[in-house]
Amino acid sequence: MAAFERVQIDPQPLSGTEKVDLTVEILGSKLSMPVIIPPMGSHGLAHVSKEEGTAKAAHAVGTLMLTSTQSNLSMEEIAQHNPGPKWFQLYAMKDRGVLRELLQRAKAAGYTAIAPTVDNLFGYPREENIRNEFRPPRSLGKGNAPRSISDPAAAIAALDARKRDLNWDDMEFIKKESGLPVIVKGVLSAKVAAMAMKRGMDAVYVSNHGGRAFDGVQATITALPRIADAVQGRLPIILDSGVRRGTDVFKALALGANVVACGRPVLYGLALGGSLGAQSVLEYMRDNLALVMRLAGTPSIKDISRDNLAPHVA
């Protein structure tokens, strides 16, 4: 969030901009705005409606949510509450049979892209969680446990057994097996982005997991310009971690992102007001971005570029 504050907008008054168009298209999904909900496990921690609340909010606003492998409801139930565009986040598991099963389920349920998360394989210690003795409550459910394993405990264990030596061959396997576009989530390096292009991936998702997977790495808005330079517009770029306002969205788009995701604020909205609470956070992001675009003098998303930022003053 501090890194976002260091980027400054160069407004263009007298550009005659009043009407603004926030719509975007990414990987074939048409969205009302360039703000989506990132994959977050266990929405049941926030509200009894679990992912039903957030899925309905995404649909009401005309944007998409990534369903997490670690959702409480099943990916099929979540899809029913959001008939619009949707993507599935994948924590690739060790067992290829289980992995295949999940990919097939996602495709059959109408998910149109798979986002393997590559930055959270080793359970980085979250000191606050340790101090608070936080454990995700099992009672909330694990909707994506494989159905081919009849014993519930064994099914959950198979879902949670992540492949820790994940590599580019796995990414290609996921693409081939699913037949869907693959979004590599958790990229902070231009080299990794270049490799994603080389290995036929379909989008780069710049994320540091909201600062939850590895201390000491860059803020995403700091990493973004080099990644955008490497990608040169050949792959769409999604960015999250610390996006809180329309100004943050605008800055990320100006530096090369096509779409951004806003995580915890949506969950806090869900906690406070269920589906309508989550929806109100998304509406705030939309309306605030529209205002920023008017003030900056950019009538549509494609008009937003590095020219709309002030030169960096150290």
Options 47, 59, 209, 312, the catalytic residue: 209
Handedness of CA 27, 29, 34, 37 (dihedral sign): negative
Q: How far is CA 173 from CA 100, 114, 169, 199, 214, in A?
A: 10, 12, 6, 11, 26
Of 207 and 298, which CB lies nearer to ligand FMN in the complex structure? Answer: 207
CA dihedral 11→17→19→24, nearest 10 degrees, is -50
Does the annotation mark 81 as catalytic?
A: no
How many Cβ atoms from other residues are within 10 Å of residue 23's Cβ?
12
Shortest Å distance, C-beta 129 to ligand FMN: 11
| Least distance from ligand FMN to the Cβ atom of residue 308, Å | 22
Among 49, 63, 67, 70, binds ligand FMN (CB under 6 A): 70
Count other Cβ atoms within 10 Å, centred on residue 164.
10
Q: Work out the burial of residue 28: count CB atoms within 10 Å of its CB; fewer than 13 is exposed, 13-18 middle, 19 or more buried.
A: exposed
Residue 38 vs 85, nearer CB to ligand FMN: 38
The sheet carrying 114-116 orders its strands as: 66-67, 87-90, 114-116
For residue 168, which amino acid is it? W
Local structure of residue 163 (DSSP, 8 states): -
- 3-state class of 264 per DSSP? helix
Name the one range near ligand FMN by CB under 6 A: 10-18, 189-197, 241-249, 299-307: 241-249
Kindly state the helix (H) or strand (E) to which residue 51 belongs, with its residue range: helix 51-61
Among 39, 44, 143, 181, binds ligand FMN (CB under 6 A): 39
Spatial contact of 105 and 67, defined as CB atoms under 8 Å apart:
no
In whole angstroms, the minimum distance from the beta carbon of 17 to ligand FMN comes to 28
262 part of the interface to ligand FMN, by CB under 6 A: yes
**Residues 255 and 247: beta-carbon distance below 8 Å:** no
Residue 160 CB, nearest approach to ligand FMN (Å): 11
Q: Does 243 bind ligand FMN (CB under 6 A)?
A: yes
Distance of closest approach, residue 16 Cβ to ligand FMN, in angstroms:
34
Pick the closer one to ligand FMN by CB: 20 or 201: 201
Coil, helix or strand for 171? helix
274 near ligand FMN (CB under 6 A): no
User: In the stretch 158-187, what mask flags binding to ligand FMN with x, by CB under 6 A?
Assistant: ---------------------------x--
Strand partners, 155: none
Nearer to ligand FMN, 68 or 275 (CB): 68
In the list 54, 117, 258, 298, the residue contacting ligand FMN (rule: CB under 6 A) is 117
Candidate residues 142, 209, 251, 286; the one interacting with ligand FMN per rule CB under 6 A: 209
Total residues interacting with ligand FMN, rule: CB under 6 A: 20
Residues that bind ligand FMN (CB under 6 A): 38-41, 68, 70, 89, 117, 185, 207, 209-210, 212, 240-243, 262-264
Active site residue ranges:
209
